[in-house]
Structure 1
Amino acid sequence: MRRISSEVHIDAGAEAVWSVLADFSRFREWNPFLVQAAGRARVGQRLSLRLRLPDGGREMTFRPTVLASEPGRLLRWRGRLGAPGFFDGLHSFELTPRGAGTHVLQTETFTGVLVPLTGPLLRQSEVGFARLTDALKTRVEARAAV
């Protein structure tokens, strides 16, 4: 098992953060890691996500299933590479009100027999996570300032 995470404080309410985070069709406008997305933030829905590894890294598309969707609070999905147990990822965005803003914690827990062989991929993904949360902060705060 391996876990990666990134967190940020956003100077806006959780509803404003959620409105950007759950608007998958606009990811291409601001998201440097998940550069294309389609689907709905509804439990049971299959998403189509195109991930771009940092610094000119390769791109890959995966189709996770939404496991939890609580507007303004939690978005979680599970993606798999191959059959269950080979390489599974449980990805979460947790939104917690803090003062007048929102703390965002993005995590992914990877399990499966291939995890020990994916060190470089997971290190690049961790950089991508940080860039995603930074870009989310920039996007939400720019919208809140208008």
Structure 2
Amino acid sequence: MTKNITTQIIINTPPEKVWNTLVNTDSYSLWNPFIKKIEGVFKIGNTITVTIQKNKSSKMVFKPIILNYVKNELLIWKGKLLFKGIFDGEHFFKLIDNNNGTCTFIHGEIFSGFLIKYFDLSNTKQGFELMNNALKVYCEQKA
């Protein structure tokens, strides 16, 4: 069983500027209301440490592996709860150049595992949307 969340937003800056904001994880505290911290190097096969927290909810820390990294276009990581197959998530950021000085930011996750049927992912989707909107505002103000 799988559950998918896909969100998207048009950002009125070129994809390179949005990408630079996404990979500059030291700046997340300035703009990101959902992913509070990322530690590690974005390189295929590397493990990173991701801390998420929406509003006053409890922090969640996990250590996903980078599956794909294409500069200015795509970042995918996959994490798991305890063991593979229990509750796994393949998180992605994708940038599409609209060839007019703007880009479309697609942000989502594919969840799988036998516990997925017990999880309500509505808060996760809200967190993605909060992040998307904050990314848009931050990038457009810097443009």
Tell whether the structures are fold-level matches, with TM greater than 0.5: yes
Aligned to 1:6: 7
8 Å CA contact 1:47–1:64 kept in 2: the answer is: yes
Give the CA deviation at 1:142. 1.3
Range with bigger deviation, 85-94 or 22-31: 22-31
Percent of residue pairs identical:
28
> 2:26 & 2:63 partners in 1: Cα distance?
15
Aligned to 2:126: 127
Give the CA deviation at 1:25. 2.0
Give the CA deviation at 1:29. 1.6
Aligned to 2:101: 100
8 Å CA contact 1:7–1:103 kept in 2: the answer is: yes
User: Unaligned 5+ residue runs, structure 1?
Assistant: none
Give the CA deviation at 1:39. 1.3
Q: Secondary structure at the match of 1:4?
A: strand
> 1:49 & 1:27 partners in 2: Cα distance?
11
Aligned to 2:75: 75
Q: State the one-letter code of the partner of 2:101.
A: A
Structure 1 runs, 4 residues or longer, greater than 3 Å off:
none
Q: TM-score, normalised by structure 2?
A: 0.94
Q: State the one-letter code of the partner of 1:88.
A: D
Q: Secondary structure at the match of 1:125?
A: helix
Post-superposition CA distance 1:109-142 (Å, at most 9, x none): 00001101111xx111110000000011111111
Query: Is 1:91 matched up with 2:56?
Result: no
Post-superposition CA distance 1:82-118 (Å, at most 9, x none): 1110000001111001121010000100000110111
> 1:142 & 1:90 partners in 2: Cα distance?
30
Size of the aligned set, in residue pairs, is 141
8 Å CA contact 1:28–1:37 kept in 2: the answer is: no
**Counterparts of 1:7-86 in structure 2 under 5 Å?**
7-53=8-54, 55-86=55-86
